[in-house]
Amino acid sequence: MERSTSKRKLNRIARHPRQAAAPVQSASQRQAFASPDFAHRDLAELQKTAGNSSTARLIAGAPSLSKRPLVSLTAQGVQRTLVQRHLPGVLAKLSTDLAQIRTTLSAYNTEDPANGDLMAYINKHVSDIAALPGMVTVVDTKDKLVQALALDMVARAETPTTIDAVMANATDEVMNKGGGGFTAKDGTVWMLASANDSSALFHELIHVLSGEGGVTQLSVTKGMLNEGFTNYFAEALAKKYSKTIYPAYPIATAWVEKFAKKFGDSVAYNLYFKNNEALLYSTLAKQMKTNLDADKVIHDANKSKPTEKPATTKYKLTEVNLYCTAGKVKDEGALAVIIKKKISESYFMEATEPGLTMMDKFVFA
């Protein structure tokens, strides 16, 4: 599937590079993201990956319970096309409704024929969410989206800032980086009208479905991979329901596609929507162990018959031995720890990253 067209993502208005012209993150940028000293760009990344209301909390290490201040918009500003969500009680109702939907989702059971159609099931709940009062605000121009994003950036800023101070960044996200929508701090979604009827809306609403404020455990460990799962479901839904695909997070999405193809949609679903990060690592580790065990048997047989022509193996003995302890392939738990570390160290920005090629070799091969 083409993910490298001119429009890119949508999600948290981010900086997902077009595939072809992707500016590769420099080591210093990566370092900046890893350090507590967030640059604006890094803040945007975190907001995007963490989603909404929890970004400030993640950064500040403290609960962010404050609602976005009531926005007062001028004639040039953003006009809400849906129900005003700042009416008293609207956000509280929204929060309750979403909590209920998540509870229902967590009861998803692929053994149950009624729940067996993953896409229909998600679509139903996405529709439910989109229908919630004030959940989605559609704006008809990029300028209005920039305004809304700038307000959200101010609302999320750890230290007080101003619209003027964030405007360049907000403008860049929308005008240059292809942002077509974002999930705001209050958990609601802002979308460009031109992107609204596409995978982009699915993407944002799937975030909202996945956890409070779009935050899952995986989003904390590896935000880009969380985006990959989000966008994998969004694109799958868009395809199924003949919506436009708004390309986003190409490498992370492709990785999740590979994962789902190998292990099944229900595993992808269960780990993402049930907030079961451990299932990701255990699934990968189990497959890695199967691959290594099979190879180890052949290496051992070759060793026992030194005079015969050695049978072909998938990996070199030195490679297998990397994952052995006391002459045996490590157990799944130990491999899961190794895999989690590899995932944590990866950026999911380039297919050639060592953590990703390692999994290609030992898990997906």
Interface segment toward Zn ion; rule CB under 5 A; list 8-16, 130-138, 186-194, 273-281: 8-16
Interface segment toward Zn ion; rule CB under 5 A; list 5-13, 162-170, 294-302, 313-321: 5-13
Q: What's the closest the beta carbon of residue 232 comes to Zn ion, in angstroms?
A: 11
Binding string to Zn ion for residues 172 to 211, with x set by CB under 5 A, is what? ----------------------------------------
Our finding on whether 52 is near Zn ion (CB under 5 A) is no
24-44 burial, b for 16+ CB within 10 Å, e for fewer? ebeeebeebbeeeeeeebbbb
Decide: residue 114, CB within 10 A, 0-12 exposed, 13-18 middle, 19+ buried.
exposed
Nearest CB to Zn ion, comparing residues 47 and 171: 47
Residue nearest to Zn ion (CB): 11
Q: What's the closest the beta carbon of residue 205 comes to Zn ion, in angstroms?
A: 11
The amino acid sitting at 176 is N
Q: Which residue has the tokens 């595993």?
A: 267
Question: Can you state the angle between helices 277-304 and 250-263, rounded to 10 degrees?
Answer: 70
Please provide the DSSP assignment of 315-329 as one string: S-HHHHHHTEETTEE
CA 64 to chain centre: 21
Our finding on whether 226 is near Zn ion (CB under 5 A) is no
Nearest CB to Zn ion, comparing residues 227 and 277: 227
Q: How many residues bind Zn ion (CB under 5 A)?
A: 3
Nearest CB to Zn ion, comparing residues 59 and 285: 59
Q: What's the closest the beta carbon of residue 89 comes to Zn ion, in angstroms?
A: 28
Phi, psi (rounded to 5 degrees) for 67: -80, 160
The C-alpha atoms of residue 130 and residue 244 are separated, in whole angstroms, by: 17
Nearest CB to Zn ion, comparing residues 45 and 295: 45
Our finding on whether 11 is near Zn ion (CB under 5 A) is yes
Using an 8 Å Cβ cutoff, are 88 and 220 in contact? no
The amino acid sitting at 319 is E
Nearest CB to Zn ion, comparing residues 206 and 335: 206
Interface segment toward Zn ion; rule CB under 5 A; list 191-199, 217-225, 230-238, 276-284: 230-238
Contact residues toward Zn ion (CB under 5 A) are 11, 227, 230
